[in-house]
Amino acid sequence: MVSRKNTINLRSLLTIFAVLVTVLWCGANTITTNAQTTPRRVPMDFTGDGRSDWATIANSVVGAPLRWRIAGNPALPGPNQAFIREFDYGIAGNYENPPNNIRDYIYPDDYTGDRKTDVVVWRPGAPGIFYVAEFPIGTGGITLNRAVRWGQAGDNISPNNPVFNPIGDYDGDGKADYTAVRASSSGDLTWYIMSSATGAQRAVPFGTLAGFPEGGVYVFPGADFNNDGKDELVLVTTIVEFGPLTYYIGDSTTGAGVMTRQFGVFETDYSVAPADYTGDGRADFVAVRQNAAGTPATWYINNSATNVTTAANFGISDPTFEGGQDMPVRGDYDGDGRLDIAVYRRSNQNFYYFRSSTNNTVVDGQKFGAPGDEPLASYAIGYVY
Ligand SMILES: [Ca+2]
Ligand SMILES: [Ca+2]
Ligand SMILES: [Ca+2]
Ligand SMILES: [Ca+2]
Question: Following DSSP, what letter does each residue of 348-378 receive, concatenated?
Answer: TTEEEEE-GGGTS--EEEEE---TT-EEGGG
Higher local confidence (pLDDT), 15 or 271: 271
Q: What is the mean pLDDT of the segment spanning 368-376? A: 94
Distance (angstroms) between ligand 4 centre and the Cα of 329 equals 12
Dihedral over Cα of 35, 39, 43, 49: its sign:
positive
The pLDDT score that the predictor gives to residue 102 is 62
Higher local confidence (pLDDT), 6 or 250: 250
Task: Report d(CA 338, CA 330) in Å as an integer.
Answer: 11
The pLDDT score that the predictor gives to residue 24 is 31
Task: Report d(CA 336, CA 42) in Å as an integer.
Answer: 10
The pLDDT score that the predictor gives to residue 47 is 92
Distance (angstroms) between ligand 1 centre and the Cα of 169 equals 4
Distance (angstroms) between ligand 3 centre and the Cα of 114 equals 24
Question: H or E element: which one contains 149?
Answer: strand 144-149
pLDDT above 90 covers what percent of the chain?
70
Q: Report which of 110, 25, 96 is spatially closest to residue 62, judged by C-alpha positions.
A: 96
Rg (CA), the chain: 19
Distance (angstroms) between ligand 2 centre and the Cα of 55 equals 28
Distance (angstroms) between ligand 4 centre and the Cα of 360 equals 9
Q: How far is CA 188 from CA 209, 212, 239, 276, 329, in A?
A: 6, 12, 16, 29, 30
Q: How far is CA 198 from CA 17, 40, 172, 175, in A?
A: 45, 20, 11, 11
Q: What is the mean pLDDT of the segment spanning 38-64? A: 89
Task: Report d(CA 139, CA 300) in Å as an integer.
Answer: 42
Q: How far is CA 168 from CA 89, 165, 219, 341, 343, in A?
A: 22, 9, 11, 22, 23
Distance (angstroms) between ligand 4 centre and the Cα of 335 equals 5
Confidence of residue 181 (pLDDT cuts 50, 70, 90): very high
Strands 381-382 and 257-265: unpaired
- What 8-state DSSP symbol labels residue 299? E
Counting ligands in written order, which one lies closest to the CA of residue 199? 1
Q: What is the mean pLDDT of the segment spanning 168-176? A: 96
Q: What is the mean pLDDT of the segment spanning 7-18? A: 25
Phi, psi of 357 (to 5 degrees): -70, -15
Q: Is the pLDDT of residue 385 over 50?
A: yes
Strands (E), 195-256: 201-208, 217-223, 232-238, 244-250
Counting ligands in written order, which one lies closest to the CA of residue 34? 3
Question: H or E element: which one contains 199?
Answer: none
Counting ligands in written order, which one lies closest to the CA of residue 339? 4
Task: Report d(CA 367, CA 351) in Å as an integer.
Answer: 6
The pLDDT score that the predictor gives to residue 245 is 95
Counting ligands in written order, which one lies closest to the CA of residue 31? 3
Strands 342-345 and 350-354: antiparallel
Whether pTM exceeds 0.75 = yes
Task: Report d(CA 167, CA 351) in Å as an integer.
Answer: 25
The pLDDT score that the predictor gives to residue 48 is 93
Q: Report which of 283, 324, 321, 275 is spatially closest to residue 305, judged by C-alpha positions.
A: 283
The pLDDT score that the predictor gives to residue 71 is 94
Counting ligands in written order, which one lies closest to the CA of residue 226? 2
Distance (angstroms) between ligand 4 centre and the Cα of 332 equals 4
Q: What is the mean pLDDT of the segment spanning 266-276? A: 95
Distance (angstroms) between ligand 3 centre and the Cα of 67 equals 33
Least confident of 36-40, 90-94, 327-331: 36-40
Q: Is the pLDDT of residue 120 over 50?
A: yes
Q: Is the pLDDT of residue 270 over 60?
A: yes
Distance (angstroms) between ligand 4 centre and the Cα of 380 equals 18
Q: What is the mean pLDDT of the segment spanning 227-246? A: 93
Distance (angstroms) between ligand 2 centre and the Cα of 338 equals 17
Task: Report d(CA 144, CA 6) in Å as an integer.
Answer: 13
Distance (angstroms) between ligand 2 centre and the Cα of 136 equals 31
Least confident of 86-95, 295-304, 349-358: 86-95
Distance (angstroms) between ligand 2 centre and the Cα of 68 equals 31
Confidence of residue 214 (pLDDT cuts 50, 70, 90): confident
Distance (angstroms) between ligand 1 centre and the Cα of 230 equals 8
Counting ligands in written order, which one lies closest to the CA of residue 230? 2
Q: Is the pLDDT of residue 18 over 50?
A: no
The pLDDT score that the predictor gives to residue 322 is 86
Least confident of 127-141, 171-185, 243-257, 304-318: 127-141
Mean per-residue pLDDT over the chain, rounded: 85
The pLDDT score that the predictor gives to residue 283 is 98
Distance (angstroms) between ligand 1 centre and the Cα of 195 equals 6
Q: Is the pLDDT of residue 9 over 50?
A: no
Distance (angstroms) between ligand 3 centre and the Cα of 37 equals 11
Highest mean pLDDT among 70-79, 202-211, 302-311: 302-311
Q: Is the pLDDT of residue 21 over 50?
A: no
Distance (angstroms) between ligand 2 centre and the Cα of 253 equals 10
Distance (angstroms) between ligand 1 centre and the Cα of 58 equals 29
Confidence of residue 2 (pLDDT cuts 50, 70, 90): very low
Q: What is the mean pLDDT of the segment spanning 262-279? A: 96
